[in-house]
Chain A
């Protein structure tokens, strides 16, 4: 297959997908004759091409795949359309989400202890309904075998992260504070 043809196919596959398309899907569709390095090279090319100021959207690597998203500068224009009303995040929901992102799987009691005993059930419910977190299991060695919570793929998608390791190490956020004090 010609490289240009592969490129067109890859572009088309991303266009028709609702979710980020991962490398495995490209491999499956394109078959054995196309190797992973060619696919990766083309994805890099497409990323570069759409990053140009000529386009209103770009190719983003997110949640383990590739997805077309509008550029940030366009936000204020797109939000003028009624159906694109921005989602809001409460302070407490963001705190709980941050703790889960770094401490998962984590129980509600553990989250509350880290927040100085604040009842976090409301925040957890909000995050569950928005599918940013999920119940990932139970903590068997704790009394009452409480549920544990983890972040979802949607969390990665919403915050534009490739995977969990895309989050900076927690120490970086602690260092900051020390630096501030000096």
Chain B
């Protein structure tokens, strides 16, 4: 059996749907019929293993309550208030607010249909505030990171091959020409001092090759790596490759 169950925003949405489907008069809702259909809808939800939110149950109780009151009212001759009144006014207001929502969505919405000139002024200012940092600033930064790095409780003597060239290639891969990237993002997950030193050496090397600039927006601000327009070529690394190897051998 194929069950077509529309998705509703809540119990009022279900009631409005049932009223429309059956062409009921909203001011004179046949309460037993709508209650029955509403309960059938909850049944269908249950059969589909859909989670039934409390408000749906609360509404079922309310409908049954109204139904009972309607029956009592029929039996007595007294003129009393229509037990459906509150529900009807809630439904009418809810319907109206749904229409308001539709109305708002047909407006010329900012950043969907119509757009503003982005503040050009702001962008210019930001670019001017960047200041270039010197290698000594980098050293301070390295000290800071070393301090933050967790010291392992058990000291192990590890012989690791750390290549500066590898770090250079990594940085080149991570950066985009004419864009900045936070320094922290580059060294994220660096576990050992050796790796960090290799990173710093790589950055210094890249600064020398004018492939990157190290910049900062304001004192103590975030340090950013700015990749210049200069194209990176493998050849640039030739000299460093040898030096690097020698360095590693010495370490070993």
Q: Given A117-B11, A117-B55, is A69 in contact with B114 using a C-beta cutoff of 8 Å?
A: yes
- Chain A stretch 48-91: residues in CB contact (< 8 A) with chain B: 60, 67-72, 74-75, 78, 83-84, 86-87, 89, 91
Q: Which secondary structure characterizes the binding site on chain B?
A: helix
Does B109 make an interface contact (CB < 8 A)?
A: yes
A70 to B72, alpha carbons, bound, how many Å? 62
- Say whether B115 contacts A78, CB under 8 Å: yes
| 1/0 contact string of B207-221 vs chain A (CB within 8 Å) | 000000000000000
Shortest distance between the CB of A21 and any CB in chain B (Å): 13
- Say whether A160 contacts B96, CB under 8 Å: no
- Chain B stretch 208-248: residues in CB contact (< 8 A) with chain A: none
Total count of chain B residues near the partner, CB < 8 A: 40
Shortest distance between the CB of B153 and any CB in chain A (Å): 43
Does A92 make an interface contact (CB < 8 A)?
A: yes
- Say whether A181 contacts B25, CB under 8 Å: yes
- Say whether A95 contacts B96, CB under 8 Å: no
B90 contact set on A, CB distance < 8 A: 113-114, 116
- Say whether A84 contacts B55, CB under 8 Å: no
Does A131 make an interface contact (CB < 8 A)?
A: no
- Chain B stretch 179-209: residues in CB contact (< 8 A) with chain A: none
13 more A-B contacts (CB under 8 A) besides A70-B114, A115-B12? A69-B116, A71-B114, A78-B115, A83-B118, A84-B111, A98-B101, A101-B100, A116-B10, A158-B110, A158-B111, A161-B107, A177-B26, A177-B92
Interface residues, chain B, CB within 8 Å of chain A? 9-13, 25-26, 53-55, 58-59, 90, 92-101, 103-105, 107-119, 121
